[in-house]
Amino acid sequence: MKSTHNVKELKEKAYQVRSDILDMLNRAGSGHTGGSLSAADILTALYFSQMNHDPKKPNWEERDRFVLSKGHGAPALYAVLARCGYFDPEELKSLRKLGSMLQGHPDMNATPGVEISTGSLGQGLSIANGMALGLKLDKKSSRVYVLMGDGEIQEGQIWEAAMSAAHYKIDNLCALVDLNGLQIDGPVKTIMNIQPIADKWQSFGWHVFEVDGHDLEAILDALHKAEKIKGKPSIVICTTVKGKGVSFFENKVEYHGVSPTDEELERALQEL
């Protein structure tokens, strides 16, 4: 069932998600801060407004599916799943602990609401293709959403999957890119330039939307329009800020895979 939160409520949800991300990463002492924060608004829009899902019935056959291809952004997904009601938010404190249901990358066998285990970059779009084709064969109206990182789409498998999705006209598939411009080794444009990204996807046969990845109204507008596209897959390219929401994390490549200290956590929560 889709939620009916208005934009003001969604913004409040996104703040809560960011607070959860920072707290759980601080407790864990490790994890990916920058890319989790940059994806918070995208996941908030999907889970609290766009997607048809039921936390009380995680395996409901008519549900929309979500694949976190950039699996290192798991803290953002966990925060959203907890706040939706898939599990007790108290579980967030156990991130990356031995035996926890919340490991450093999503585990479909451990975490309620996680559709597929991810972490090896480049594989998520292929998985989403298979899910979407399966739903079509079963004559289901459900949709599949997949979130990729911009550094991730340097992977060749992404482009094989892009060709396949267009070839098979997988129009119940919507991909999103968290375009924050940074990856673990530095700026994406200097590691392996992916621009012009919109032109590339369009040339592969996709319908392309470009939005501000922190503008919830713009994200939802693109997702609603994507539902109406027939005969081809859609992609929403979301321009984001690494570490969004905390000024001293924003656009800092060193916070790609570093958790906040106690002092940084206190300052960050005050900002939020």
Indicate whether 214 pLDDT > 70.
Answer: yes
Structural Rg of the chain based on CA atoms:
17
Q: What is the pLDDT of residues 32-47, one digit of tens each?
A: 999 999 999 999 999 9
Mean pLDDT of 97-122: 97
Indicate whether 138 pLDDT > 70.
Answer: yes
DSSP 46: I
| CATH architecture of the region 7-271 | 3-Layer(aba) Sandwich (3.40)
* Confidence label for 22 from pLDDT (cuts 50, 70 and 90): very high
Whose tokens are 């009380």? That residue is 56
Average pLDDT, the chain: 97
Q: What is the pLDDT of residues 73-82, one digit of tens each?
A: 999 999 999 9
Whose tokens are 């919830």? That residue is 216
Q: Specify the pLDDT at position 269.
A: 96
Q: In the chain, how long is the greatest CA-to-CA distance?
A: 52
- Rounded to whole angstroms, how far apart are CA atoms 23 and 261? 10
Three-state DSSP state, 146: strand
Beta bridge partners of 66: 145
- Rounded to whole angstroms, how far apart are CA atoms 145 and 149? 14
* Confidence label for 1 from pLDDT (cuts 50, 70 and 90): low
* Confidence label for 5 from pLDDT (cuts 50, 70 and 90): confident
How do the domains of the chain map onto residue ranges?
A: 7-271
